[in-house]
Structure 1
């Protein structure tokens, strides 16, 4: 249940080690060219938009590449209909233009699956895409994207503006109208849904959009890593299996007079040996949209509910019918910290979702709900939200 942003660097490191025997020039040779790290004359780095076989695509060319190792940032493109990054290795065509080769892994081989041959003029890129060994060429023309002039298709929240500055490529993929249905909004590419509050404050719904934006971006990044590592956007799952990989589910667990609590869970396969389960609980102030700390902090609802107290209460309510090995696994958290549990509110009480278990023991992570009455002694009686949960 670690945040995905903490998981991705570990995955990138494992991928780099596993792929050290690969030859990044191989797909470029299969496309009829050679490897080269720089850009040819007339080709400028940046973001481009164009069409390929009638479908809109986004292209990102880096200013420089220190190497074409998997661990280094790469040129990439994505179809607007699915938003999944396709990694490109860079080189020169036989004619001296820019050659970009996409590929599929058959470790240690990198087999080319597509070849862009491009030249630059007047800021634009023109050329073709073809499959290796095929004589059929699809014409492409890329125009530079002027990011500052790109209209916003979503409310201008802090998270959206920060994403535009930090990761313009992801911003362009997610900056489109999202689908509202009932009390939730769905981002179409990732299919991540997140609640909204009708008539809620602008600050609250901005915070909800920004959390959904983060979840959608993380999921698309994970699927892109999965594609780069396995050659599939589903971890290579059996088509006849009912297992669904790479999805995020968010549920509204409590709405009171002042608070809104949401728990999102993600099942993610980003490449590597195992999938990851990532969970996160967030409780928002309905007026300000600020995240409200629930336990262990001076300004929280239950400041006396320390990590050690949470662990003790969790063990006391852990299902007695649980497997003996699971009980041993949850007892191993003998030095609990603030990240040991994800917390969220429900009608019944405060729910603890364990975040301390290693991957092999994830199935032991039973959620436990502590009734509000049992937690009254830990609460700040003069706190802002006390009467919300303890009306009498």
Structure 2
């Protein structure tokens, strides 16, 4: 669900800016940098990732192959400083002298204001040129060398998710492939601050790292959206904190609290519940379907149990809001295990009444009638 939420956040952000984009002129920052817009690459420039030093700071720059538009949130050239990891989008063009021109910008509806300009030419496999401000008050010479990402040593334990990220999104891989900090049974990804627990089994920890890797990548993408919209972004303003809520011989349950401000009209926040198998690290579906621990815990029953446990002193607006759960399946609630019972966290509430989303914990004894005694996880909760 967290991945779905992140996707919806990006979709929502795209919808919010769609009207604005129709009035924006992608060539505007390129003109301010002294050039013209061009989707085609300058002859001799090879797509890929390059590294170098800009004004004493390490940077990575990615030039993609075919570009179909200069619209924000479409695939784009980008760069990032090593010290914070936030992507800075670049519009592509050419200088009057025919060099590759990449312009970074701030969106100030309906204008795109140029912040900085890269002027680059191919030279012996490298890109050589300068970065300068549109007013030419500052200028720094620049040499960028290509990076063979496939040959970069892994700084994290090798997992399927890490290797897949290196193949599918090498630019993000380079930002996340660095030592992470361990604190009190959890691991912190340094750029986003995304924090996630670790367990005792090898397979479980592979799954936990890959989940954290995905969450951290979502966070960095969200920060890039905020930067494109506002010209500023707190890399740790978009993060997930995962905490262990329950452990047994075979089950490992986690509560994820996330915050996301991707540059849209409203920041987003919420909770995601995940339960994994201690030995395999695979996700465990808890309810509603044959073969689950509580197959008879249907969406209708979940809603009934939630309303029964909802605070009786809640105001009428909240009571009305939580009764209007029209989710087509059990996705109306995030579920996670705790010491005292199954916690139901609603995810169906509109943003304006999100504060009404009180969590309700239903005692395991009250759920026994919905359980399948033959399920392999039954004895973890019942005797």
What's the CA shift for 1:147? Answer: 1.9
For each residue in 1:174-209, what CA deviation from the matched residue of structure 2 results, as whole angstroms up to 9, or x when unmatched? Answer: 111111122000000011110012xx1211000000
Q: Unpaired runs of 5+ in structure 2? A: none
Number of the residue aligned with 2:339: 347
What's the CA shift for 1:16? Answer: 2.6
SS in 1 for 2:252: strand
Measure, in 1, the Cα distance between the counterparts of 2:191 and 2:368. 43
Deviates more, 1:345-354 or 1:246-255: 246-255
Number of the residue aligned with 2:282: 290
Number of the residue aligned with 2:304: 312
Measure, in 1, the Cα distance between the counterparts of 2:308 and 2:281. 34
Q: Unpaired runs of 5+ in structure 1? A: 236-243
Number of the residue aligned with 2:33: 31
Choose from 176, 181, 184 the match for 2:178: 176
1:267 and 1:278 in contact (8 A); partners too: yes
Number of the residue aligned with 1:111: 113
Instruction: Verify: 1:43 aligned to 2:45, yes or no.
Output: yes
Aligned length: 381
Number of the residue aligned with 1:203: 203
What's the CA shift for 1:50? Answer: 1.4
What's the CA shift for 1:71? Answer: 4.4
Number of the residue aligned with 2:313: 321
SS in 2 for 1:44: coil
Measure, in 1, the Cα distance between the counterparts of 2:285 and 2:155. 32
What's the CA shift for 1:319? Answer: 0.6
TM-score for both structures, normalised by structure 2: 0.96
What's the CA shift for 1:349? Answer: 0.4
Instruction: Verify: 1:389 aligned to 2:381, yes or no.
Output: yes
Number of the residue aligned with 1:377: 369
What's the CA shift for 1:335? Answer: 5.5
User: Cα RMSD (Å) of the superposition?
Assistant: 1.6
1:308 and 1:335 in contact (8 A); partners too: no
Number of the residue aligned with 1:6: 8
What's the CA shift for 1:297? Answer: 1.8
Choose from 66, 75, 78 the match for 1:76: 78
TM-score for both structures, normalised by structure 1: 0.94
SS in 2 for 1:64: coil
